[in-house]
Amino acid sequence: MTLKDILIGRPKPVWIRYLLILGAVTLLTRLVLDSRFATTSLFYCLVPYIIGVILYVFVPQPKGWFKVKRIGRHLLATIIVMLASSAILFEGFLCVLFAAPIYILFALLAFAVMPNREDPERFKKADVFKVSFVPLAVLVISVEGLTDTTSFPREEAITRTQTLNLTPEQIHANLARPVHLEEGRSKFLSIFPLPDRVDAPAFAQGQTHTAYFTYRRWGFTNVHRGETQLHIKTVEPLLVETEITKNTSYFSNYLTIHGTQIKMTPQADGATAVSLTIRYRRDLDPAWYFGPLQRRAIRESADYLLANIVGKAAENA
């Protein structure tokens, strides 16, 4: 077997070619994951683009196929290689689920701008600007996160406000109740595993509550266990503040949650306007992709906590 055999369409069967590609992709992914670039745009943009180029070069393209059909074949090859390499690297379903769209986007981009390899006139017909500009643009995009200078702001805070038909005293009583998180989550939040249990000794300033998580990366095995410690920093009649003092859960791989603040504003009709602020740091790049995803997760989490922890217990009592 020679490099020439691989490039011109041999060896047969094609699964041998896929094994070689899978080995190269897995090695490339492992090298970047073990480096300081694992959470940067270099990993989420440039690496899948390079993988797309590898698939373009080494996966045979049947003659006579239109470009749409060839892109479909390339998409299938991309998904196969992505899932197989993820399994070999013991990545979990959450990582694959959220990384898949951007991975596929850049792998397809690499193929879409290339000419048909089977066309003898491809170099004459190729759009030189397109073929040369797109890789340069990907390189520029991929520098995000490599240094502080090439990074967008990471610190964010999401505030959600609800008016509850409760007094501040009733809200404090709700916060002191045992935590139950089984119901009422959105479809998006339901993707994430709930804590196995929550140890909450008392709702008082200076206390620390601990949530224990079990994340089965493959749904039933490949288990990661961790915990999140929530220190109750401030407890006042109209203000409750917490901070995260330890986080080894699966969430810590995606973002760093600093803490929360609950402000209560009594209303004239006896209700209370409650504002919940969650402060966090985005740890993944690029910001244009992971920023909106994490903001949605934090926003829906805040809404859930307001409805099911701060306000629901007393209403159902």
Point out the domain boundary residue: 106, 141, 176.
Answer: 141
Q: Phi and psi of 299, rounded to 5°? A: -60, -45
Domain annotation covers residue 146: no
Domain of 288, CATH number, reads: 3.30.530.20
The pLDDT tens digits for 202-243 are 899 999 999 999 998 887 778 889 999 999 999 999 999 999
Domain range for 87: 3-141
Q: Report which of residues 248 and 217 the model is more confident about.
A: 248
Domain annotation covers residue 137: yes
Domain annotation covers residue 147: no
Residue 12 confidence class, pLDDT cut points 50, 70, 90: low
The pLDDT tens digits for 91-101 are 888 899 999 99
What's the total number of domains in the chain?
Answer: 2
The answer to whether residues 37 and 71 belong to one domain is: yes
Point out the domain boundary residue: 141, 171, 195.
Answer: 141
The answer to whether residues 84 and 109 belong to one domain is: yes
What residues contact residue 266 under an 8 Å CB cut-off, 6+ apart? 167, 168, 238, 272
pLDDT confidence of residue 7: 47
The answer to whether residues 110 and 24 belong to one domain is: yes
pLDDT confidence of residue 317: 43
On the CB side of 221, CA atoms within 13 Å amount to 2
The answer to whether residues 133 and 162 belong to one domain is: no
Type of residue at 230: L
Structure-block tokens of residue 176 = 């002191």
Q: Find the DSSP H helices in 113-151.
A: 122-125, 128-141
Q: What is the mean pLDDT of residues 138-146?
A: 96
Query: CA–CA separation, 39 vs 170, rounded Å?
Result: 42
The answer to whether residues 264 and 196 belong to one domain is: yes
| DSSP state, residue 307 | I
- Provide the whole-model pTM: 0.87
* Number of CB atoms found within 10 A of residue 283's CB: 15
